[in-house]
Amino acid sequence: MTQLEMACKGKLSPQMEQAAEHENIPAENLRLLIERGVAVLPVNVKTPSLVRDFRPLAIGEGLLTKVNANIGTSRDFCDVDYELEKLSTALAAGTDSVMDLSTSGDIGEIRRKIRGNCPVMLGTVPIYEAVCRLMEEGREIGDMTPEELFAIIEGHGEEGVDFITVHCGVTQKSIENIGDRLTGVVSRGGAFLIEWMRANKKDNPLFTRFDILLDIARKYDMTLSLGDGLRPGSIADATDIPQIAELSVLGDLVKRSRSAGVQVMVEGPGHIPLHQVEANVVLEKRICDGAPFYVLGPLVTDVAPGYDHITSAIGGALAAWAGADFLCYVTPAEHLGLPLVEDVHIGVVSARIAGHAADIARGIPAADQWDAKMSSARYNFDWKAQAELAIDMDIIHKVRERCPLEDEQTCSMCSRLCAMKVARGKGK
């Protein structure tokens, strides 16, 4: 049985218990959220046997905002050990989830290595592997048979992938107006499917044969993450007709997934200006019946390559406050290249900042207690406690040792003119 089927039968799974403990809520509350489909608990039935100390987490309504880190090889930059280093970096930085988006090398082998070393939920985009295999064989994207694609998806199920991105909403109908766009299609998976549809003059097999996908997903309890293949790649394309057309398709597929006992969440944009972020969340929640919303960014401006961890922290905070449940990190390397280990680190930290800021704003119980503890340590000049409480535990020491300090309690910003001391009559 999937977590959804168990929830619908009133049964509490061990994973529900663990995930509820993480949220500090009764397991029964979490079960109700999963039953309604407004929360998912992505854990492949194979995962517990493949990973030591796997930490199940739920994603959805009223729960702590979760953060995902994308790793994986590309053709220009293919080093498996380096990807494993990114994995451990992302985990150390506190990611709640990892997606392996490898598109080069022995993708199966890379995924198995990542899975074995990844105690948090793991996601993939199976069509990447399908297309890469075609390339290796000298075949075109249009040559892919639906059977090949489903076989790969089944393989991901066998190997303990907890959730998969499937761009089922990229259909002949939803792409009708993409010619009006400034930046066309910026989703790799979406682009592959469009190329396939063009070559075969047929509709997207992930849409036309959605029931096959549901069968596989149910078998392994792989959560479907319905991809936004038509997400806007620029502010100019935000919240446009193709994006909404795709979302409408996804809303229908959410209902079909739930009826089949398959856990499902929905992916969202992308490049969205600040004033459209909330509307995008409201729209997804309305059209997709409250399904957990997994956003990539959103990036609130296009002009800051090299700083898209910041543009997306702004958008992510706002989105999560409005109800988005799961933030995919964006690193400083976005739009420029494959991220390095240091990009992974700052990407996770930035997304966690956005998520936590939103958790405070949403009134998630005790979220702001973390801040109160930190501020109390700050007010008491307890640098050890500050380092332990900081979202990045190493950084305080690094910055403080940059110059000799006159007073060990204060910092080089104000030295003995520290306001917190002066105002208490302790400074001079």
Residue partners of 378: CB distance under 8 A and separation at least 6:
386, 420
Nearer to its own copies, 28 or 406 (CB): 406
Angstrom distance (rounded) from CA 125 to CA 277: 25
The least CB distance from residue 53 to its own copies, in Å, is: 25
Angstrom distance (rounded) from CA 18 to CA 86: 26
Nearer to its own copies, 151 or 399 (CB): 399
Nearer to its own copies, 28 or 422 (CB): 422
Cα distances from 354 to residues 185, 311, 312, 314, in angstroms, run 26, 11, 8, 7
Measured at the alpha carbon of residue 344, what is the angle toward residues 227 and 93, in degrees to the nearest 5?
Answer: 105
Nearer to its own copies, 77 or 289 (CB): 77
The least CB distance from residue 174 to its own copies, in Å, is: 13
The least CB distance from residue 41 to its own copies, in Å, is: 26
Of 182, 183, 184, 192, nearest in space to 126 by CA: 192
The least CB distance from residue 109 to its own copies, in Å, is: 19
> What letter does residue 295 receive in the DSSP assignment?
E
Angstrom distance (rounded) from CA 244 to CA 70: 25
The least CB distance from residue 216 to its own copies, in Å, is: 24
The least CB distance from residue 420 to its own copies, in Å, is: 6
Nearer to its own copies, 88 or 376 (CB): 376
The least CB distance from residue 55 to its own copies, in Å, is: 21
Q: Which two tokens stand for residue 123?
A: 């996601």
Nearer to its own copies, 45 or 374 (CB): 374
User: Which residue type is seen at 398?
Assistant: K
Pairing, β 326-328 against β 293-296: parallel
The least CB distance from residue 317 to its own copies, in Å, is: 5
Q: Which two tokens stand for residue 60?
A: 């959805």
Nearer to its own copies, 81 or 211 (CB): 81
Nearer to its own copies, 37 or 233 (CB): 233
Measured at the alpha carbon of residue 219, what is the angle toward residues 215 and 222, in degrees to the nearest 5?
Answer: 95
Cα distances from 409 to residues 377, 383, 398, in angstroms, run 12, 8, 16
Evaluate the CA torsion angle 145, 148, 151, 153 in order and state its sign: negative
CA atoms lying within 13 Å on the CB side of residue 136? 12
Nearer to its own copies, 211 or 423 (CB): 423
Nearer to its own copies, 5 or 195 (CB): 195
The least CB distance from residue 77 to its own copies, in Å, is: 5
Residue partners of 358: CB distance under 8 A and separation at least 6:
65, 316, 317, 318, 319, 320, 321
Q: Which two tokens stand for residue 87?
A: 């994995």
The least CB distance from residue 291 to its own copies, in Å, is: 24
Measured at the alpha carbon of residue 122, what is the angle toward residues 220 and 365, in degrees to the nearest 5?
Answer: 105
Angstrom distance (rounded) from CA 117 to CA 92: 12
